[in-house]
Amino acid sequence: MFLFLCFGTMVMAQEKQGDSVLKELPYVDSVRSKISLTEIVVKGKKPPISFKIDRQLYRAAEYANAANGNAIDLIKNLPAVSVNGQGEINVRGSASFQVLLNGRPTQGDPAFVLAQIPASSIESIEMISSPGASFDADGKSGVMNIITKSAPEKGLMVQSNLMLGAPPFNDFDNQRYTSPQRHAADVSIGYQQGKMEWSSGFNYLRNDMAGYREGDVNTTIGNRFTSFPSNGERSFKRYNVGGRFAAALQLDPHNNVEASVYMGKKYQTRVADLLYNISRKNLLTVQQSSFDYFNKNTAEKQGVFTLASLGSSHQLSNSTQLSFSLQYEGADLESLTTNQNLTYPGLKTMIQETINPSSNPLHAYRLKADLTDKKGSRVWQTGYQFRYDEQLGDFLYSYKNLGMQEFATDPFFSSQVAVRNNIHAGYVQYSNANGKLIYQAGLRAEQMLRNLSFSDNVQGNRLPLLNLFPSYLLKYALAEKVVLKQSFTRRIKRTNNFELNPFPEREHSETLEQGDPALLPELTGIWELGVEHKLSKGSFSMSLYHQRTKNPIQRVNKVYNDTILGRIFTNAGLAKQTGAEANFTYRISKAWQMMVGGNVYKYDIRGSLFNGSLPFSNNSWVYSINATQSLALKANWQLQFSVNYLSLRATAQGEDGAFFTPNFSVKKTSKDNRWSFQAQWLFMDMGLGISNIQRISTWGKDFYTTTNYIYEPDQLQFSVGFNLSKKNRKISLPQSEMAEKEF
């Protein structure tokens, strides 16, 4: 990183801008020398968003409301990102995107990976909506690269934070989780000296949430109409803990090696204690019957995430570089779901009790080699990658009915599922700049072999696939600060263990979930046309895009019996999505900065379900808005207000309701910028009943279900942070010989 001094103010920038920024310095000529500074006081403001050839970079420090959370709390402020009431993350309306951690790909569920990264450890986020051939083809909505903080140039960096949450204002009179806890601590340390650089960190986050659920379901089987509305507690107890370490060594001017390891654990217990009111009606005779029961449901999940990598780069010549990397990723996932159905009122007799333990570990290995040749603006890239990953699921279902003394295993709901993927990939990519035009084109080929096997002598299957993934990107400088871009890329969403498991899994009293071993991966083509405009006090960007997805994977419902719905994963024809994404940042004054981003698209899905027996079509307009207003006041006080809104969204069989979350924070920083104190008001509601609530509904010819999820609003958190950086940098500055003599 280079430092530039200009008259009256000092500005830190990440890229060298040229000599023009020094024109206001007195006594300047073309003679340069090196000056060693033991301490530099840097003032100024980095732009919140930067544009690169194929991506947009967002500075994490701009989002104070996410400071005490994890990466999910941070990314939900970005223009194309939305997070719904169930914690599901969507980029441009899709949950299929790839997460990189400091440029290293991750294989696990994005929500699982992001939940373990503390927001305070993140330096910036890169969004790549049209990745080139050098990237993995996974993730139909593109790539998100999380860049964590590292040591400053030749110096020490220490950062730490402590957070404590206030008791809840509304616990919904819940009986089991009556006192949600929220507290956090993290520390990051980095050091660089000579040829060696290392960084490490540790984080802990406890983030419980009280909640309530209201649901209504009805089914029609022949002449029998059954209704079973329910309501009750739906709360969460959850925590994340993690540690990370990275080191790099410059062996000589042409060779360097680096290694990193990240380990984290995520734990969550979800309580759903629901009172069911069952009523049955004969549509011919109009005879009715009814009874009530209480379902005590607990779903406990935990997982340990490990990411380890070893890499090296070798400068073969002035223009050619060869790099290697070896990576391992593991995710040891375990869960235990218990259901107790009790008579109501009284809760004295156990009608049925079930336990559903499972383990679903993921192990993935990746070997990669890349060769880059760069001469002037021309860049050739080629490379090879081998991937092997396996997910070994073990699902057990045991029950004990009224009158039984011991649990018995139900083989219909118990299974072992193994998914193994072998992927060989090769790519070639070329980029160049010709005047105002920058262009990039590439082709990636992937040979995949998916082996699927089951327990109990159930026949598995073997799916070989050869896919080509072409891509191109054009950028044209229409004016000094206006750039047009146009791109195309082809992406894939691969299947996982859960989606492929054909054995029903009963995780709740009213639902079964079942996969399809014949599922095909989703293939998506993405066209994009955009503009980037750098303003004098901000920036504006906008992209029009069209996605066409073959074999979209949908989770749909059908009637299993009169009081149980089956949720089934299936390929569902063709999905199309056309939309626009925009982001606008502007510094209205020295104190007031505005950031507004949004995404709007038309979603259309059509095809047939259940082996062609049920044709369907659905479409809707969907939009999301993420807006942040920041005020920098005197004496280092900062106020920030943010709003995240996701509109109603159509699904294959219904709709997901709107979701709204406003947040407010007050931050005070010490004069030397080493200490900070912050108060946050999250999910602001003030009794209006509009924040942190979402309704999800599905329907078909013989069923209807709707569920309203109501989570704890008005959460207060208080935190203190410490930041220490010691630097000893050498920077190049112009110096005038004549001015020195005159002095």
What is the per-residue pLDDT for 156? 86
Domain span at residue 7 reads: 1-44
10 Å CB burial of residue 259 (0-12, 13-18, 19+) is middle
Name the residue with tokens 């019957």.
Answer: 289
294 lies in the same domain as 360 = yes
Instruction: Note whether 500 and 207 are within 8 A (CB).
Output: no
Same domain, 20 and 50: no
- What residues form DSSP beta bridges with 678? 667, 719
- Please name the amino acid found at residue 618: N
**Residue linked to tokens 């050091």:** 191
Rg (C-alpha) for the chain, rounded Å, is: 28
Q: Could you list the beta-strand ranges (E) of 377-521.
A: 378-395, 398-401, 408-409, 415-434, 437-454, 461-479, 482-493, 505-508, 511-514
Task: Indicate if 179 and 37 belong to the same structural domain.
Answer: no
Within a domain: 733: no
All residue ranges of the chain with pLDDT < 50 are 1-42, 727-743
Distances (CA, A) of 635 to 202, 230, 632, 668: 31, 53, 9, 8
Look at residue 739 and tell me if it is in a domain. Answer: no
Q: Which of 262, 256, 289 is nearest to 112 (CA)?
A: 262
pLDDT at 15: 36
Is residue 737 in a domain? no
Nearest to 47 by CA among 730, 381, 557, 541: 541
DSSP 71: H
Contact 450, 468 (CB under 8 A): no
Residues 19 and 166 in one domain: no
- Both 33 and 151 in one domain: the answer is no
Query: Which residues of 98-210 form beta strands (DSSP E)?
Result: 98-101, 104-105, 122-128, 143-148, 155-165, 182-193, 196-207
First-residue to last-residue Cα distance in the chain: 31
Pair 459, 451: CB distance under 8 Å: no
Residue 646 falls inside a structural domain: yes
**Ordered alpha helix ranges (H), 450-581:** 497-500
Same domain for 134 and 15: no
- Which residues of 38-150 form beta strands (DSSP E)? 49-51, 56-59, 81-83, 89-91, 98-101, 104-105, 122-128, 143-148
Instruction: In whole angstroms, give the CA distance from residue 133 to residue 129.
Output: 13
Distance in angstroms (rounded) separating the CA atoms of residues 578 and 452: 35
To which H or E segment does residue 111 belong?
A: helix 110-114
pLDDT digits (tens, 9 = 90+) for 50-69: 888 888 899 988 888 887 78
Structure tokens at 327: 């990576």
What's the rounded Cα separation, in Å, for the pair 71 and 113?
9
* pLDDT value at residue 530: 94
Per the CB < 8 A criterion, the answer to whether 719 and 102 are in contact is no
Report the CATH number that the domain containing residue 142 is assigned in CATH: 2.40.170.20
**One domain for residues 128 and 35:** no
Report the pLDDT value the prediction gives residue 379, as an integer from 0 to 100.
Answer: 95
Instruction: Locate 604 and state its tokens.
Output: 């259309």
Average pLDDT over the chain reads 86
685 and 714 part of one domain: yes
The predicted pLDDT at position 353 comes to 92
**What pLDDT is recorded for position 43?**
52
Question: Global pTM?
Answer: 0.83
- Asked if 16 and 124 sit in the same domain, the reply is no
Q: Is residue 250 exposed (0-12), middle (13-18) or buried (19+ Cβ within 10 Å)?
A: middle
Asked if residue 517 has a cis previous peptide bond (ω within 30° of 0), the answer is: no
Residue 106 sits in the same domain as residue 29: no
Return the amino acid letter for 305.
Answer: F
pLDDT of 737 reads 33
pLDDT digits (tens, 9 = 90+) for 238-283: 999 999 999 999 999 999 999 999 999 999 999 999 999 999 999 9
- Tokens 């999250």 sit at which residue? 682
Structural domain count, the chain: 2
Q: Dihedrals φ, ψ of 283, to 5°?
A: -70, -15
* 290-304 pLDDT tens trace: 999 999 999 999 999
Please report where in the chains the tokens 């993420």 appear, as a residue: 626
Q: How far apart are CA 97 and CA 88, in angstroms?
A: 12
The residue ranges of DSSP E strands in 610-714, in sequence order, are 614-633, 637-646, 649-650, 654-656, 659-669, 675-682, 693-700, 703-711
3-state secondary structure of 739: helix
Token pair, residue 405, equals: 């003394």
The DSSP line for 243-277 is EEEEEEEEEETTEEEEEEEEEEEEEEEEEEEEEEE
Residue 473 lies in a domain: yes
Task: Sort strands 649-650 and 654-656 into parallel, antiparallel or unpaired.
Answer: antiparallel
Strand 564-571, strand 511-514: pairing:
parallel
Q: Where are the alpha helices (DSSP H) in 435-542?
A: 497-500
Residue 174 lies in a domain: yes
Q: Does the residue 729 lie in any domain?
A: no
In whole angstroms, what is the distance from residue 140 CA to residue 96 CA? 6
What the block records as the tokens of 40 is 């530099």
Residue 61 lies in a domain: yes
Query: Which pLDDT value is given to residue 104?
Result: 86
CA dihedral 731, 734, 737, 740 (to 10 degrees): -70
Q: Which residues pair with 183 in a beta bridge?
A: 164, 206
Same domain for 449 and 375? yes
- Rounded to whole angstroms, how far apart are CA atoms 638 and 668? 6
Backbone angles phi, psi at 552, to 5 degrees: -60, 135
Residue 561 neighbours by CB distance under 10 Å: 11
Residues 421 and 560 in one domain: yes
